[in-house]
Structure 1
């Protein structure tokens, strides 16, 4: 069945639609890999569109022909953990696809847009902090596992993840 969507840079006005999509995505897709208690505490934090990403030009939205946000994701040259990055290295940021639109190439199309944008900016490698659930997706894109990590979402709230990297 054909599916019509387009990829465009995210705007500040997309915040509510992206947050709703991310909450649907993470609450359904991460359930198999995360403790329900951790997921319940993490969802209010990880399911929100990041204002610093919206309108930055390197974070993208997959929008259906009906105007629905089917997915979002991109990259920045700043580390999501606020640490200093390495010269020529970017960071994949908040790639998510609405569960109603899975397996239609949206995640790969968003990643491709991010890769092309990063390369145009002189980025030679991308890092990512993948959820446990998305590790296989990132691996198919060319990312390699560096190590398991725990992200501190707030004092006492640790979220298991996988640090990954790929050369562009």
Structure 2
């Protein structure tokens, strides 16, 4: 299967396109597992690309070979998205999304494989992931083990059910 996309490091100049990707992807894909009221509160928090993530060097975009369109994004940091304390050699998968029109074409798989390879090259031995309910099966297929359901506090009074996952064979 021809991929028709390539992966490159994200840049701060990608902020508008990555935000557009999140705003297209998350409302459509998360609606099968989360009710409309919850999404109304959550989506404004999770659909804006974070400049610090785009500029960190370990966050990536999947770009269409035929245009400048960003069709996926994701990466990792050694800082927890929940600002928790890390163990040495531990990383965190961050803000993965695929354009709905590009699902089942290998975009998310390629992003996670690239993310894991990058983390490994930086000495990371274990990757954590806060998966949406929607992406649970995908992360299992990518070698992550489920630790349990959690509720993330995204903003005061905004709680988001998720799955805490880990992959120890990075």
Deviation at 1:32, TM superposition (A): 0.7
SS of 1:70's partner is strand
- After TM superposition, which residue ranges in structure 1, 4 or more long, deviate above 6 angstroms? none
CA distance in 2, matches of 1:3, 1:91: 26
Count the aligned residue pairs: 168
TM (norm. structure 1) is 0.97
Deviation at 1:3, TM superposition (A): 4.4
The 1:2–1:121 alpha-carbon spacing in structure 2 relative to 1, beyond 3 Å, is closer
Deviation at 1:56, TM superposition (A): 1.1
Q: What is the RMSD computed on CA atoms of the aligned residues?
A: 1.0
SS of 2:52's partner is coil
Per-residue CA deviation, residues 62-98 of structure 1 (Å, 9 max, x unaligned), is 0002110000000000000111111110000011000
Structure 2 segments unaligned to the other structure (5+ residues): none
Equivalent residue number for residue 23 of structure 1:
23
Equivalent residue number for residue 43 of structure 1:
43
C-alpha contact 2:8 2:61 (8 A) present in aligned 1: yes
What does 1:1-168 correspond to in 2, within 5 Å? Answer: 2-65=2-65, 66-167=67-168, 168=170
SS of 1:67's partner is coil
Structure 1 segments unaligned to the other structure (5+ residues): none
The 1:122–1:3 alpha-carbon spacing in structure 2 relative to 1, beyond 3 Å, is closer
SS of 1:164's partner is strand
SS of 1:107's partner is helix
Deviation at 1:157, TM superposition (A): 1.0
CA distance in 1, matches of 2:68, 2:41: 30
